Amino acid sequence: MVIGGDGQVSLGQTIVKGNARKVRRLAKGAVIGGFAGATADAFTLFERLEGKLEQYPGQLTRACVELTKDWRTDRYLRRLEAMMLVADSEVGLLLSGSGDVLEPEAGVMAIGSGGNYALAAARALSDTGMDAEAIVRRSLAIAAEICVYTNGNVVVESLDAA
Is the pLDDT confidence value at 162 over 80? no
Predicted confidence band of residue 46 (pLDDT cuts 50, 70, 90):
very high
Region 135-152: mean pLDDT is 97
Give, in order, the Cα–Cα distances in Å from 103 to each of 66, 87, 109: 16, 10, 8
Please tell me the predicted confidence (pLDDT) of residue 113.
93
The whole-model pTM stands at 0.91
Beta bridge pairs of residue 23: 34
Domains and their CATH numbers in the chain: 2-110 (3.60.20.10)
| Nearest-5° Cα angle at 154, 53 to 15 | 100
Cα–Cα distance for residue pair 135/109, rounded to 1 Å: 12
Cα–Cα distance for residue pair 25/63, rounded to 1 Å: 15
Is the pLDDT confidence value at 161 over 80? no
Give, in order, the Cα–Cα distances in Å from 10 to each of 78, 106, 133, 154, 157: 22, 30, 26, 16, 23
The string of DSSP codes covering 7-35 is --EEETTEEEES----EEEEGGGTEEEEE
Please tell me the predicted confidence (pLDDT) of residue 76.
80
Cα–Cα distance for residue pair 77/5, rounded to 1 Å: 23
Cα–Cα distance for residue pair 141/6, rounded to 1 Å: 9
pLDDT tens per residue, range 106-139: 889 999 999 999 999 999 999 999 999 999 999 9
Compute the half-sphere exposure of residue 115: CA atoms within 13 Å on the CB side of its CA.
15
Please tell me the predicted confidence (pLDDT) of residue 27.
94
Choose among 91, 88, 162, 83: nearest CA to 116.
Answer: 83
